[in-house]
Chain A
Amino acid sequence: MRPAPGRAALRVTPGENPGQRRIIFSLLREVAQVKGGSILELSPDEWLLTEAPMPDAEALVALIGRQLSKDHVRLLVLPGSKKILADLLVSNPAPKILELPAAGAVSPVGLEFKLAQINPDAVFSRRSYVAFNRADGPALRLQRLALNEASLRQQLGSYAQEPSLLRHAKSELQKGLIEALGGERGRATLLGGSPAAPLLVDMPPALLPISPEHEHEKEQEAHEAASTIALYATLALDAAIGIDNLATRREGLKRDAWGIAISGMSAEALSLVNIQALPAYWVILEWSAALEQKTSLKLLGQLDPSRVILDGCDQKAALLFGLSLGISCYGGPWIEDLVAAARMKSCPEAARCTRAECRARGFATTSSGRIGCQAPHLLAAVLQEAAP
């Protein structure tokens, strides 16, 4: 080590994203190979470039700061920071030389077998979206048969490490869900009774119903008949934009009481898209703290709040944020807690169960998942009408 003036060391916290870590590493390595210095791993989440000429070090700070954020990278100017550096090296007596973490490929062999073994209850849940129009608690607005990605990852094991295999698994399971929903028995099993509110069904675009051209004389009547929408085909944002005639198909679907919902709208995606161009009835926006940042707020201002479902609400702050924008439809773990509590309030058998049990049975998509409930008709209805 040559702690000469005009040089500096760099301390980086590369974060958890493996792709990001590879980028940061190759940026550091590029400088190290040409200008000297070594890259050391102080701990799995802290790396050190021992030295680099000042201009290169500053360029790296700017580059890495842009990639991560300013507080993830620290410039240690030499020789001023010599002591800090020495301490770091002393407290990490044997730093290992970092190798570029390789991207391992997962073999797809046996994936079908794994998929066939997955019990729908383990990956699908019956979720509730509620409105807070009244002062006296949540009112059921929509239901959704949703694929729970965390559970799916757990079920798939190592296959889930590969995004394309995970996507394939999702689309296969969604196909199975639609098939089950088409049959009367399957439907009753999935929902625990008849649907209590319009139902959002996650599906790949290929399964979107094809509405035949209605005969002219019937058109007027049919158009009128579907004043309600019973099922919303819930498409992932990236899949939906591939359907070029979506706007035209939406009209045909409406006659058959079908609507379109778009899922997968994160704060990041929101910053990229022109949401008005989406021919969807509902846009499911995932709550995150990033939504509250200024840029997102500006974009949110362009949203029609009556078409937005704020999902993933895990705390009261999410609800308050949504209400401040005029959003009236909410979902997420915190909301499911409210739903279970409201259901137990009107349930004559509530004394036998805990809140967690009632919540879990509400989520269930198989009969066995509901075992133990003494008021299955209440469970099927999710929520009773609020007392007048």
Chain B
Amino acid sequence: MISAADRVGNKPTEMNSAVALSVAVRDAVALGEERIVLTLRFSALPRARRLGTQADLLRASWEPLNSTARVRSFKLPGGDLVALGLPHAAADLEYHHQVLFSMLEEEEASRAVQILRLPAQAAAVLDIVHDSLGFTTALGAMGLQASEGGQPDGAAIAAAERAMAGVDISTFVRRQRVMWLKPGGANTRLMWEDLRVKLAEICERLMQSADLALPKAFAERLIGAIDARQISNLARPQELRDMRPIALPLRVESIFSPAFLKLDALIPPSQRQKLLIAFSAGDVLADGGQFILARSFLQARGYPLILEASGPLAAAVLPSLRAGFSYLRLVWSDDFPAIVSGADALMRDTLANPAEHVLLAGADTPAAIAWGWEAGIRMFQGRLIESQRAVS
């Protein structure tokens, strides 16, 4: 069995040792008993002293303290050594203090080698334990960034939702074509249309004060309401009569909504393959069980699925083909060439997905399309694509 200790910096024995030391210190304090503490803190020494022969010599002169009955020696994570003895071991500890002191420069020694007394100096000893566990460093780095402005309260959200009921959602829907585009431009054809609500514009219109950042969960709630409206629009007779292939980004929850189930009952079975349902990777992994239920329903009914990955990490963590998606939709970012050394390597190693199943959205520049082509991608969506004409 591979124990975690073999690979991890914090060895459990040293960790336990840190716990044992803090228990011993607190015990002494609780009972008001006197204890003498000797410390050798490698972490307070310059680098040269911490490594190699010099450190070995220091450890060797500590060694006798590990084997006397009157003293308990603790090796803390990070290598610091602490010895704790009863008052009658004071002379012994003092002797070792002198020895260690003589081996170091005075300035170094006064920081690293110390005699402390319990219960009076308990706080100093506990600080050493704290330091050895890295808490001082970690807590210092803790990002208590000033909160990013105000956010709307529940009442403002509820008001926005009420306002949305009276808004014609179709004015906020952006339709973009997804084209099959090969280098050289042969066989350019329309795959489907992407129907997407411009959330930012809706928020701007609905929220009373525009400088408020919409918390993620509230945004999801708004999107859920928008989903229902989008779905109901599709269920209108004129839309159903003349159905063209479209991709609709939905929340997984929306599949279980009455609106979607009503639409499902109205779409003729032969037309279902024209409705491509897109889920975001984050939404899929927020509740894997719920996604699996939705997937088995959608697959049985014949709707193709698109996975929308916010970036390469999402695409790599959630392999789209294995998870049952027909297509993977990546959104182009100018960082792409920098994040991955070669576009084809991203496809091969990270995405493990045949490039012909990948759609690159946000293809607004020739650079994006060039990168996509290099990666083997043939499906594109974006401003540049809107100006392309399908051959047939």
- Which residues of A are in contact with B by a Cβ distance under 8 Å? 17-20, 22-23, 26, 29-30, 33, 63, 66-67, 100, 102-103, 105, 107-112, 131, 133, 139-141, 162-168, 171, 175, 178-179, 181-182, 187, 193-199, 206-211, 220-221, 224-231, 236-239, 241-244, 246-247, 253, 256-258, 264, 266, 268-275, 277-279, 305-307, 323, 326, 328-329, 375, 377-378, 380-386
Judged by a CB distance under 8 angstroms, whether B319 is at the interface is yes
Q: Is A384 in contact with B19, judged by CB distance below 8 angstroms?
A: yes
Question: Which of the candidate stretches B3-11, B171-179, B184-192 sits at the interface with the other chain?
Answer: B3-11
Across the two chains, which residue of chain B brings its CB closest to A113? B154
A82 CA to B169 CA, complexed, in Å: 51
Chain A residues within an 8 Å CB radius of B117: none
Query: In the complex the two chains form, what is the Cα distance from A125 to B22 in whole Å?
Result: 22
A210 cross-chain contacts in B, Cβ below 8 A: 143, 145
List of A residues within 8 angstroms of B273 by Cβ:
none
Q: Chain B nearest CB: distance from A190 CB in Å? A: 12
Min distance, Cβ A309 to any Cβ of chain B, angstroms: 9
B255 within 8 A of A: yes
Stretch at the interface among B106-114, B130-138, B357-365, B372-380: B130-138
CA distance A218 to B255 in the complex (A): 53
Partner of B12, one of A109, A141, A211: A141
Once A197-B19, A385-B17 are accepted as A-B contacts, the answer to whether A272 and B318 lie under 8 Å apart by CB is: yes
B195 at the interface (CB under 8 A from A): no
* Chain B residues near A307 (CB-CB < 8 A): 4
Find the residue from B4, B26, B158, B292 having the highest chain A CB count within 10 A: B4
Q: In the bound complex, how far is the Cα of B6 from the Cα of A307, in angstroms?
A: 11
Q: Is the CB of A231 within 8 A of B297?
A: no
In the assembled complex, the Cα of A225 lies from the Cα of B18 at a distance in Å of 17
Is A257 a contact partner of B142 (Cβ separation < 8 A)? Answer: no
- The distance from the CB of B52 to the nearest CB of chain A, in whole angstroms, is 14
Tell yes or no: B60 within 8 A of A by CB.
Answer: no
B281 at interface by CB-CB < 8 Å: yes
How far, in Å, is B106 (CB) from chain A's closest CB?
A: 22
Binding site for A on B (CB under 8 A): 1-10, 12, 15-20, 22-23, 26-27, 29-30, 43, 47, 77-78, 126, 129-130, 132-135, 137-145, 147-148, 153-155, 157-158, 215-218, 220-221, 224-225, 253, 255-258, 261-262, 264-265, 281-294, 296-297, 300, 310-314, 316-319, 322-323, 335, 339, 350, 352
Asked whether A256 lies within 8 Å of B300 as measured between CB atoms, the reply is no
Asked if A227 and B23 make an inter-chain contact with CB atoms under 8 angstroms apart, the answer reads no
Contact A108 B317 (CB under 8 A): no
Chain B residue numbers with a CB within 8 Å of A208 are 143
Q: Which of B19, B290, B296 contacts A140 (CB 8 A)?
A: B19
Known: A140-B16, A228-B133. A258 touches B312 (CB 8 A): no
The residue in chain A whose Cβ has the minimal distance to the Cβ of B295 is A272
On whether the beta carbons of B47 and A221 are closer than 8 Å, the reply is: yes
Q: How far is the CA of A328 from the CA of B210 in the complex (A)?
A: 51
Q: Which of A140, A211, A272 contacts B15 (CB 8 A)?
A: A140
In the complex, the answer to whether B3 meets A242 with C-beta atoms within 8 Å is no
User: Which residue of A19, A66, A166, A236 contacts B256 across the interface (Cβ within 8 Å)?
Assistant: A19
Apart from A103-B256, A227-B78, A230-B135, what 6 extra A-B contacts exist at CB < 8 Å? Answer: A23-B256, A194-B130, A209-B143, A257-B135, A306-B6, A385-B16
- Closest Cβ of chain B to A295, distance in Å, is 11
User: Do A167 and B220 have beta carbons less than 8 Å apart?
Assistant: yes
Which among A178, A238, A246, A326 has the greatest number of chain B C-beta atoms within 10 A? A238
Distance, CA A208 to CA B26, complexed state (A): 33
- Chain B residues with Cβ below 8 Å from A197 are 15, 19, 133
In the complex, residue of chain B having the shortest beta-carbon distance to the beta carbon of A163: B253
A-B contact pairs, 11 of them (CB 8 A): A131-B12, A209-B143, A210-B145, A231-B139, A238-B282, A244-B313, A257-B135, A268-B291, A273-B318, A274-B319, A377-B23
CB distance from A178 to the nearest CB of B (A): 7
B300 near A229: Cβ-Cβ < 8 Å: no
- Give, as a whole number of angstroms, the nearest-CB distance from B161 to chain A: 8
Q: Which residue of B lies closest to A374 (CB)?
A: B30
Cβ-closest 9 pairs across A and B: A19-B256, A377-B26, A168-B217, A257-B134, A230-B134, A256-B141, A268-B288, A108-B154, A269-B288
Q: Using A26-B261, A164-B217 as known contacts, say yes or no to A306 and B78 having CB atoms under 8 A apart.
A: no
For A181, list chain B residues within 8 Å (CB).
139, 142
Q: What's the nearest-Cβ distance from chain B to residue A107, in Å?
A: 5
Indicate if the CB atoms of B317 and A241 lie closer than 8 Å. yes
Instruction: Contact check, B23 vs A381: say whether CB atoms are below 8 A apart.
Output: yes
Expressed in whole angstroms, the Cα–Cα distance for A30 and B283 within the complex equals: 29
Select B144's contact among A67, A178, A221, A306, beta carbons within 8 Å. Answer: A178
